[in-house]
Structure 1
Amino acid sequence: MNIEELREYCLSLKNVTESFPFRNFSPNDVLVFKVENKMFLLTDLNAGELAVTLKCGTESVADLAEYWRAVERARMPGWMVLYLNRDMSGKEIKQWIFRSYQEVIQALPLKVRIKYKDNIDRG
């Protein structure tokens, strides 16, 4: 998966926006995708290898990393780093991105979350 495919997939999800909120704090161009103004994916456009940082909820990153070379623990608890050009297919990467998106939606207040009811099973 390349950056254009990543961007296209993320923006295909309901109410997703993209921004560069860290430009004043970081020398890197960190592209962030949000739903309801909450981050679900970050990627450093200047990194040598294309990777995304995703919310992973209760998943054990250590267990995932034993199985997938593409997975590493992120510095932030509850997040993981997923390298896009290692041993995961594009379909599997999209499934992890969608899980991250769902993690954010599930944490929203019910009155906001209700508008995503039809989007929950999309994957």
Structure 2
Amino acid sequence: MNIEEFRTYCLSFPGSTEKMPFEKFFHGKHSFLAFYVNNKMFCYFDIDKFDQCTIKCTQEDIEKLTEVYESVSHPYNCNPKYWISIKFNDDMPDDKIKHFVWQSYEIVLKH
């Protein structure tokens, strides 16, 4: 999966928007692109690296996914009870990653 394909996928969700909200915190050293629905974030990644994304997830899925996939880990600077990071081009297929990004969108949309 490449960055433009992934960005297009995230923006295809109804009401989805994108922002770069973290630039002031990292003094422009990192460029994180975040996707929102109802002004709440459901996914973000570093456009300079594009090696992983961070998404919201159910607690049950977090436990299962971290056991099954090497590519799933606890995210940096997010609550590991509600968020996961998934490495791209690793042991989780792209269609599964997209499934969990969609699920993240739905979790945020409902709250």
More off after superposition, 54-63 vs 23-32 = 54-63
Give CA-to-partner distance per residue, 1:13-32, whole Å, 9 cap, x none: 00101110111111200000
Q: Does 1:6 align with 2:6?
A: yes
Normalized against structure 1, the TM-score is what?
Answer: 0.79
Gaps of 5+ in 1: 108-123
Deviation, structure 1 residue 46: 2.2
Normalized against structure 2, the TM-score is what?
Answer: 0.87
Aligned position for 1:67: 68
Q: For the residues of structure 2 that align with 1:12 and 1:39, how far apart are their CA atoms?
A: 15
SS of the equivalent of 1:98 reads: helix
Choose between structure 1 and 2 for higher RCO, CA contacts under 8 A separated by at least 6 residues.
2
Aligned position for 2:53: 52
Q: 1:31 aligns with which of 24, 30, 33?
A: 33
Number of residue pairs matched? Answer: 106
Q: Name the Cα RMSD after superposition.
A: 1.4
More off after superposition, 67-76 vs 8-17 = 67-76
Paired residue type of 1:61: I
Paired residue type of 2:109: I
SS of the equivalent of 1:59 reads: helix
Gaps of 5+ in 2: none
Give CA-to-partner distance per residue, 1:16-61, whole Å, 9 cap, x none: 01110111111200000001110000101223x6100000132353
Q: For the residues of structure 2 that align with 1:87 and 1:2, how far apart are their CA atoms?
A: 16
Q: Which has the larger radius of gyration?
A: 1
Contact 1:56 1:103 in 2 (8 A): yes
Paired residue type of 2:10: C
Aligned position for 2:107: 103
Q: For the residues of structure 2 that align with 1:60 and 1:12, how far apart are their CA atoms?
A: 24
Paired residue type of 1:67: V
Q: For the residues of structure 2 that align with 1:18 and 1:29, how far apart are their CA atoms?
A: 13
